[in-house]
Amino acid sequence: MSYRGAMNARVRSEERRAEIVRAALEVIAERGYRGASLAAVAERVGLTQQGLLHYFPTKDALLVAVLEERDQWDAVPDTRWRVDLLASLVEYNAMRPGIIQTFSALLGESVTEGHPARQYFTERYTQVRASMAAVLRTEYGERLPNGLTPERTAPLLVAVMDGLQYQWLLDPQSVDMPGAFRDFLRLLGEDPHREDPDREDPD
């Protein structure tokens, strides 16, 4: 094969992998990981199961690629995060229910026995709590206005983001996820007696 031919083949192969990963994200959103089959992913991209195995030899290998994909998207260097960007992230998440559904389903499954994503989520949360504590420290110093340290506040921040996602996915009409998250940020840091004039009560 010529150099150009080899390059083209490699680009096509990478495009194909990316296409398979996107299909896997969809299938996991619909069925969870344990409910997902390689056959369903293969069908979605017009491959035989055997053809799919050429790109990803096992279902777990495909899951690893899915998890890496997410890390790539959401990678923001720790030093670049700010509290107001978190509110923007939640706004952004509200525009991509598919991907939030994939990862909410995976997080739920990850607490079951021997799940292949368990270690990923355990390590991810350790790292995310540390990042969030750093963000809070940059914004507020050693104590937040409410008296808590950044390290004690970080798990609450992460919990609110995750918990709101479930409520919102189940009932997007009733749950204003970005608005609720801004309320939480207000609990953390702002003058408690100042009102947000832009937001209505939900009922």
Could you say whether residue 98 binds a second copy (CB under 8 A)? no
Nearest to 182 by CA among 84, 93, 100: 84
Report in angstroms how near the CB of residue 9 gets to a second copy at its nearest. Answer: 36
Could you say whether residue 37 binds a second copy (CB under 8 A)? no
Q: For residues 114-133, which are near a second copy according to CB under 8 A? A: 118, 121-122, 125-126, 129
Nearest to 177 by CA among 190, 167, 192, 188: 167
Q: Positive or negative CA dihedral for 88, 174, 192, 126?
A: negative
Query: Would you say how long the chain is, in residues?
Result: 203
Could you say whether residue 39 binds a second copy (CB under 8 A)? no
* 111-119 own/partner pairs: CB under 8 Å, 24+ apart: 112/34, 115/33, 115/34, 116/33, 116/60, 116/63, 117/33, 117/63, 117/67
Q: Pick the closer one to a second copy by CB: 93 or 104.
A: 104
Q: Pick the closer one to a second copy by CB: 77 or 142.
A: 142
Could you say whether residue 83 binds a second copy (CB under 8 A)? no
How large is the angle between the packed helices 177-189 and 118-140, nearest 10 degrees?
A: 50
Among the candidate windows 12-20, 42-50, 85-93, 189-197, which touches a second copy by CB under 8 A?
189-197
Q: Identify the residue among 105, 132, 135, 136 touching a second copy (CB under 8 A).
A: 105
Residues 6+ apart with CB under 8 A from 192: none
Binding residues (CB under 8 A) for a second copy: these are 29-32, 34-35, 101, 104-113, 118, 121-122, 125-126, 129, 145-149, 151-153, 155-156, 158-164, 166-167, 169-171, 174-175, 180, 183-184, 186-188, 192-195, 199, 201-203
